[in-house]
């Protein structure tokens, strides 16, 4: 199965946090294969308190022989290992944010893991790096490709 994962960091050594997250995922998920990695973008925080440091954001695509729920559990474990508290205020600064964006054509409305990610199509900081690696991807529930969704975003987002 192919999975898209968004990575973001705005605390500490942001680039190192992202690099370590990929390294830990590859080490802890049996058979995980990195198939694509987007450039890293510096982006302004969205929905965060004034004065919040800018994020570094990227997207990777991986292949793995596991369920989306299993991979999601690994993502949460890596966040914790790299210093993200399990209990925190929404949109608070964080050493690491890992979001499972999609899992092939799986659709899930489970509150614990909604797939595709419910706000992916509205977020430039996710769509831009995703368009760099999968511009023609049409996600379940969408009629437009990732690059078309990106082109349709308000330039202020």
Looking at residue 86, its pLDDT comes to 61
Domain hosting 70: range is 2-151
In a domain, 156, yes or no: no
Low-confidence ranges of the chain (pLDDT < 70): 84-92, 155-157
In a domain, 36, yes or no: yes
How is residue 69 written in tokens? Answer: 């729920």
In a domain, 103, yes or no: yes
If DSSP codes are grouped into helix, strand and coil, which group holds residue 101? strand
0.85 surpassed by pTM: yes
Looking at residue 51, its pLDDT comes to 75
Looking at residue 24, its pLDDT comes to 95
The pLDDT tens digits of the residues spanning 90-104 come to 555 778 999 999 999
In a domain, 105, yes or no: yes
Structurally, the chain folds into a number of domains equal to: 1
Looking at residue 85, its pLDDT comes to 56
| Strands (DSSP E) found in 38-96 | 41-43, 55-63
Instruction: Say how far apart CA 139 and CA 122 lie, in whole Å.
Output: 13
CATH of residue 43: 3.30.70.560
> Is cis: bond before 18, omega within 30 of 0?
no
In a domain, 119, yes or no: yes
Give one DSSP letter per residue of 65-128, joined into a string.
Answer: SS-HHHHHHHHHHHHHHTT--SS--TT---S-EEEEEEETT--EEETTEEES-TTGGG-HHHHH
In a domain, 139, yes or no: yes
In a domain, 123, yes or no: yes
Looking at residue 92, its pLDDT comes to 57
């Amino acid at each position: 199965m192919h999975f898209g994962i968004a990575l973001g960091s705005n605390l500490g050594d942001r680039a190192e946090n992202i690099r370590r997250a990929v390294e830990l995922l590859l080490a802890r998920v049996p058979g995980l294969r990195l198939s694509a990695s987007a450039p890293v973008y510096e982006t302004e925080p969205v929905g965060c308190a004034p004065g919040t440091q800018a994020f570094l954001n990227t997207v990777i695509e991986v292949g793995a022989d596991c369920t989306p729920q299993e991979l999601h559990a690994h993502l949460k474990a890596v966040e914790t290992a790299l210093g993200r508290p399990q209990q925190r205020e929404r949109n608070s600064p964080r050493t690491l944010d890992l979001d499972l964006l999609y899992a092939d054509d799986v659709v899930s409305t489970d509150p614990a893991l909604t797939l595709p990610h419910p706000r992916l199509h509205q977020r430039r900081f996710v769509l831009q790096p995703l368009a760099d690696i999968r511009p023609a991807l049409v996600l379940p529930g969408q009629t437009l490709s990732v690059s078309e969704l990106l082109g349709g975003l308000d330039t202020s987002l």
